[in-house]
Amino acid sequence: MPAVEEAPIEYDKWGRMKYHPDYHFNHKKPYSLKECAYIVQNYRRGDVKNLAFLVGRTEHCLRSKVDYFRKTGKFDQLMKMDIGDWEPIEYEIS
């Protein structure tokens, strides 16, 4: 049986990981309202890299989404939203 080649991990010029199917499992999937609130509420903690891994999206996507929420005035609404015990689904990385 031939060995399966893994896709190399690439980074942009700012040191952010580019899309990789093993780490960004929610890539191109729609955002839920609770996921958006979770992102906004945890974004201010400053560790966007870990937040991106938790929700399965790229850092660039998270930063773009938060910028969009700020521009449209939704940031404060999402910051105050009660998401209960919602947590991102944990996936095993193979």
Write the pLDDT tens digit of every residue in 17-68: 999 888 888 989 999 999 999 999 999 887 899 999 999 999 999 999 999 9
Domain assignment present for 71 = yes
C-alpha to C-alpha distance for 72 and 51, rounded to whole angstroms: 22
**Is pTM beyond 0.85 here?**
no
Q: How confident is the model at residue 85 (pLDDT cuts 50, 70, 90)?
A: confident
Per the structure, the complete domain to which residue 47 belongs is given by: 33-80
Domain assignment present for 70 = yes
Domain assignment present for 61 = yes
C-alpha to C-alpha distance for 94 and 81, rounded to whole angstroms: 34
pLDDT for 92 beyond 60? no
Please list, in sequence order, all residues whose beta carbon lies within 8 angstroms of the beta carbon of residue 63, skipping any fewer than 6 positions away: 48
- Domains of the chain: total: 1
